Chains A and B, each alone.
Chain A
Amino acid sequence: MDSLTKVSFTNLEKVLYPGLELKKSRVIEYYIRIAPRMLGSLKNRVIVMNRFPDGIDKGGFYEKDAPAGTPPWIETFNTYSQTAEREIDYVVCNNLDTLIWMANLAALEINITLSTIDNYDTPDLVLFDIDPEPPCSFDDVIDIAFSLKEKLDELNFRTFVKTSAKKGLHVVLPIREKYNFRQTREFVHQFGKFMAQESDLVVSEAKNSMDPGTIFIDYLQNTRGKTMIAPYSLRAEPKATVSTPLEWKELKKGLRPDEFNIFTVLQRKNDPWEGLLTNKQALEVE
């Protein structure tokens, strides 16, 4: 249709966020404008789309397979999925057109793996998913995130933080690709166990993750083929929140995750995660 993109836009007037009367055209525009900051962290990673073609009120569906009608210029990565018990052609997003194509599919939520397709079994990201259960507040989450950061700082790890765009925070540690998922999972679990001893709020085990008033240090996403919400991805939340990379110093009491949304994130000047992939660290502690 236009030489600027290979994607033919469809149903641009479809309202995807009814509460905000936000049309699909605005979602696509968001992804076009955020692309310079977003594409780096998507590069060479398996993508799982969470699509909401009828808007966020009508429920979405996860799409792992490149859907029928995927144009030939979309890059895919074929691998066996343990959960699906079959081989899947995953979408890989290495350029602007692919990102626009996903946005046009109403893939509001874009999820990425913690490893790249070059070394699919050895992660380059470790995820500490700080996941609160009400009545814990976001202030509590910030407290726990800082207590985790303190411990990681002491061991000279440099970490990156983003909002989950729901209730929690994601703390990410980029690592050299020489550990397997069992090791990274155990690494995170150890921190959870340690912190659970220190704080009444923290729980380290999945079985307690739904206990009211607790904060679970979720280590389980550090698993082959599992994904996290990508930095700068939208969420299918009423306020059109964005999983937003932050400077640690921005995390202050009273902050609300929904302050970071489709309208505000584009105004932010810097990308606090710019150095993410140039700071790969060794997990061994000297």
Chain B
Amino acid sequence: MEKDTDRAKPSQRPVWSGSITIGLVNVPVKLYTMIRDRSFSFRLLHNEDGQPLKYERVCIKDDKVVDWKDTVKGYEIRKNEFIVFKKEELDAIRPESDERIRLDKFVSLLSIDSVYFDKSYIMVPDRSEEAYSLLMTVIQQLGKAGMGKVTLRTKEYPVVVYEYKGALILTTLRYANEVVNPGDMEELTLLKKPGKKEMELAEKIIKDLSGDFDIAEYRDGYREKMEQLIETKMKGGVVVAQVPKKEEVKELMVALQETIKQLSK
């Protein structure tokens, strides 16, 4: 099992490559994932023999297992009422990636509401060091962030591009209609203005607790305990899954043995 180290390691492969486009200027870049999820995942086992369980799609009408190839996608309009979509119909409206990040507006970096931020990627120059450095330096000095959009995989996102620790960062944003407006929460309309005395006391408490932002002060206690637990369990023996070899695998092994023999002649 992989040992935890203190840093999130950079990924080996870019998730995307293309160009930042500002008017007629192109800066070729590659995008690397910036966020590495460190949460644990478990596999579900049968408690009697410790064997992994598989999921199957079961028809709710006759309880029979349905093959992937016999499935279509349905959009539920009312309870148990569906509009059916074929793969081709869905593919037809999917945006196509044109490998461009079009920036059409520069805004003050600090003016962007962080609630819209979704996923961040590190941008790396793709044989475009000069242009990259120029773009990064100029927006850093002006305190600006470029706004635009990009298609990643099959979805189009609004994005913001800005400088952070000597890199251009691309952060995908949530669409306006994906973020709840706090003013729509009823409880918040009933707030009263605090009194003067209470404010003075509250201010004192806050000032006493003031400091600098340092995310490294926070540790994932659950993760650390989990790691200890895994280590202990590994010493005491693990439940080993025995995947039964299927007929197909056996045949491939026979073929492999014969070919390897032939190749080593």
On A, residues with C-beta under 8 Å from B are 2, 4-5, 9, 12-13, 23, 25, 28-29, 32-33, 35-36, 39, 68, 70, 72, 86-87, 96, 100
Contacts and interface: CB of A to CB of B under 8 A. Distances in A.
Contact of B259 (A9, A68, A72, A96): A96
Contacts of B253: 2, 4
Contacts of B262: 36
20 contacts: A2-B249, A5-B256, A9-B248, A9-B249, A9-B252, A13-B248, A23-B248, A25-B248, A25-B251, A25-B252, A32-B255, A33-B259, A35-B263, A39-B263, A68-B13, A68-B15, A72-B12, A86-B126, A96-B263, A100-B256
B259 A32 contact: yes
B249 A32 contact: no
B5 interface: no
Interface residue SS majority, chain A: mixed
A28 B251 CA distance: 10
Interface of B: 12-13, 15, 17-18, 28, 126-127, 246, 248-249, 251-253, 255-260, 262-263
A25 B248 CA distance: 6
A86 B248 contact: no
In this complex, which of B126, B253, B256, B257 has the most chain A Cβ atoms within 10 angstroms of its Cβ?
B256
A12 B28 CA distance: 39
Nearest to A103: B252
A72 B127 CA distance: 23
Interface residue SS majority, chain B: helix
A262 B126 CA distance: 42
Nearest to A34: B259
Contacts of A9: 248-249, 252
A12 B246 contact: yes
Nearest to B256: A4
Given A68-B15, A86-B17, A87-B126, A28 B252 contact: yes
Nearest to A68: B13
Nearest to B258: A33
Contacts of A70: 13
Nearest to B91: A59
A4 to B, nearest CB: 4
A194 B35 CA distance: 61
A42 to B, nearest CB: 13
B27 to A, nearest CB: 13
A29 B252 contact: yes
A248 to B, nearest CB: 26
A18 to B, nearest CB: 9
Given A9-B252, A86-B28, A4 B260 contact: yes
Contact of A35 (B17, B248, B249, B259): B259
Contacts of B127: 87
Nearest to A32: B255
Given A12-B249, A28-B252, 5 more contacts: A4-B253, A12-B252, A25-B249, A33-B259, A86-B18
B89 to A, nearest CB: 15
B244 to A, nearest CB: 13
B150 to A, nearest CB: 16
B99 to A, nearest CB: 8
Given A12-B246, A25-B248, A68-B13, A32 B28 contact: no
B262 to A, nearest CB: 5
